[in-house]
Amino acid sequence: MNSEYRTLKAIPVSREVGAEISGVDIAAGISDEQFSELKQAFSDYGVIFLRDQDITPDQHIEFARRWGEINVNRFFQPVETHPQIAEVRKEPHQKANIGAAWHTDHSYDQIPAMGSILYAREVPELGGDTLFSSMYAACDALSDGMKKMLLGMRAEHSSRHVFGEQAYVDKDVEDVGGRLGNTGAATQDAIHPVIIRHPLSGRSALYVNGDFTVKFEGWTKAESQPLLDFLYQHASQNEFTCRFQWQKGSMAIWDNRATHHYAMNDYQGELRLMHRITIQGEALGAAD
């Protein structure tokens, strides 16, 4: 994490993950040089945070397209006028939020999302922070024995149990209030290495998550769950994390292959409205 930048400043917010970036104004325009430094910072820190961005949905989309092809989320309510943008909304009367468990986005796709660009339109007075955890740090801290076993393994991921019809049996449909839907599209299943070679950095990263990983390939669910539970607990320990406090106009750009995130649900009675664009990634190979 020691790149030199010429057009921006990056201040790390924790030892393992995350940096606040200054000197970038998306609405005013970003040069190719500055964009390539932003990408370098994204690779260096796993998640980067920008403050005081005053952008329209069109500018959000234009900025996102510089990172890659937009991968439209199938299940979140889209912004009515801009279907490329997913709404992450919680109204004052709603109890549940979206994303209140450690996860990474879209791992149920065989070609999972590279990253997500989340922009704060309305934030509560206090609370509603997002936590990030480094999957590089989680991987590095495993014992040699555990790493050796996991390096030969793959895991199955799915959208069915989270966004499919069956998932709604356990949800308060009134409270969901149209924020999630399209249950018929929840048919994705994917298999990924448990420890991936990160396509940008070349580093080894742990790639299982509590929302979408179902089991290890060739193992039963009952056999898989205890080890998965250990890995989730291991991956979310405080030492690997950072916490971002949002303001209106803040933006987080995170790497879904290098981090997990967790949206705090501690602002009952207040509105929080975020716009999220997800960027297409590539198939993931195993570390060796």
- Known catalytic residues are 103, 105, 261, 276
Q: How far is the CB of 219 from ligand SIN (least distance, A)?
A: 27
Q: Which is nearer to ligand SIN, 99 or 193 (CB)?
A: 99
Q: Which of 274, 277, 279, 284 binds ligand SIN (CB under 6 A)?
A: 274
Q: Which is nearer to ligand SIN, 98 or 190 (CB)?
A: 98
**Residue 182: CA atoms inside 13 Å, Cβ hemisphere, count?**
14
What's the residue count for the chain? 288
Q: How far is the CB of 98 from ligand SIN (least distance, A)?
A: 6
Return the range that interacts with ligand SIN (CB under 6 A); candidates 43-51, 98-106, 167-175, 221-229. 98-106
Q: Which of 50, 74, 87, 99 binds ligand SIN (CB under 6 A)?
A: 99
Residue 263 binds to ligand SIN (criterion: CB under 6 A): yes
Q: Which is nearer to ligand SIN, 116 or 134 (CB)?
A: 116
Q: How far is the CB of 284 from ligand SIN (least distance, A)?
A: 19
- Binding residues among 108-137 for ligand SIN as defined by CB under 6 A: 116, 118, 130
Q: How far is the CB of 167 from ligand SIN (least distance, A)?
A: 16
Q: How far is the CB of 229 from ligand SIN (least distance, A)?
A: 20
Q: Which is nearer to ligand SIN, 14 or 116 (CB)?
A: 116
How many CB atoms neighbour CB 152 within 10 A?
A: 11
Residues 6+ apart with CB under 8 A from 239: 15, 16, 137
Residue 251 binds to ligand SIN (criterion: CB under 6 A): no
Return the range that interacts with ligand SIN (CB under 6 A); candidates 34-42, 52-60, 61-69, 97-105. 97-105
Residue 85 binds to ligand SIN (criterion: CB under 6 A): no
Give me the residues that bind ligand SIN (CB under 6 A), please: 88, 98-99, 105, 116, 118, 130, 261, 263, 274, 276
